[in-house]
Amino acid sequence: MSLAAELAALTASRPRPLLVGLDLDGTLAPIVAHPDLTELSPGVGDALQRLDAAGDVALAVVSGRSFADLGRFAFPGSTRVVGSHGLEDGTPLVLDDTETRRLGQVRIVAREAADRAAGAWVEQKPAGVVLHVRKASEEDGSAALAWFGRQLEALPAVQVRPSHKALEASVRPGTKAAAIGRLRHTTGARTVLYVGDDVTDEDVFVALGPHDLGVKVGEGPTVAKHRLHGPEDVVVLLATLVKELGA
């Protein structure tokens, strides 16, 4: 039995209701050169549909992407979709005057950082920006990220999140752990299975309880107790969990 199948069986044996929380990029979909090119891994859509139909199971996608961007993916209708690292859950995100001014400053600095590396670009979010350097050379990309980070240090109350060849700055703090905590409360979940690949998923892993399972996808340091190689293993985990739950 594969590790993914073992994790599915272990999850199915835990108390219900069950909350299945999933990151998107690097988890439900492979990392690609540009977010607009992202597609769910083959088999993910079917597994999510069947899990969504299972009794005592709630699905949640918790991503760093904006809520609007997540809307283009065909998640089952009752999936709880949370964007911007927990800040967006479908209700409008309204910044106050101070946050709005600060966001303007962050956007200016981000554009200057992108100009320092050919191929770098800036993703706009309701409460922040992300500098992406995946298409830049290793040397130029690293230099642009470092410069952006130094400029952000001079701005007050800006939350900085490193990611895969990217650096995000937000003028309103938020974490995926807080989002999962809210979802646990609203769904009444007794067990949480959370699967993610990024640095921002570590907050969730830290906050999980004794019945919960945290699964790190890919390489890199983690506090999660379980690890899968890549998105292809996540498909096996979800498909096997469907069978284990009799969905």
Q: How many angstroms from the chain centroid is the CA of residue 136?
A: 23
The ranges assigned to domains in the chain are: 3-91+174-244, 97-170
Q: Mean pLDDT across the chain, nearest whole number? A: 95
Domain 97-170 has CATH 3.30.450: no
CB 180 within 8 A of CB 23: no
Which residues are 167's β-sheet partners? 131, 162
Look-up of token digits 């979802």: 183
Instruction: Tell me what the mean pLDDT of segment 112-126 comes to.
Output: 97
Which residues are 193's β-sheet partners? 20, 213
Instruction: Tell me what the mean pLDDT of segment 3-11 comes to.
Output: 96
Backbone angles phi, psi at 45, to 5 degrees: -60, -45
3-state secondary structure the chain: CCHHHHHHHHHHCCCCCEEEEECCECCCECCCCCHHHCCCCCCHHHHHHHHHCCCCEEEEEECCCCHHHHCCCCCCCCCEEEEHHHCECCCCCCCCHHHHHHHHHHHHHHHHHHCCCCCCEEEEECCEEEEECCCCCHHHHHHHHHHHHHHHHCCCCCEEEEECCEEEEECCCCCHHHHHHHHHHHHCCCEEEEEECCHHHHHHHHHCCCCCEEEEECCCCCCCCEEECCHHHHHHHHHHHHHHCCC
pLDDT of 200-236, one tens digit each? 999 999 999 999 999 999 999 999 999 999 999 999 9
Q: Which CATH class is domain 3-91+174-244?
A: alpha beta
pLDDT of 123-164, one tens digit each? 999 999 999 999 999 999 999 999 999 999 999 999 999 988
Give residue 164's pLDDT.
81
Q: How far is CA 116 from CA 34, 157, 190, in A?
A: 19, 25, 48
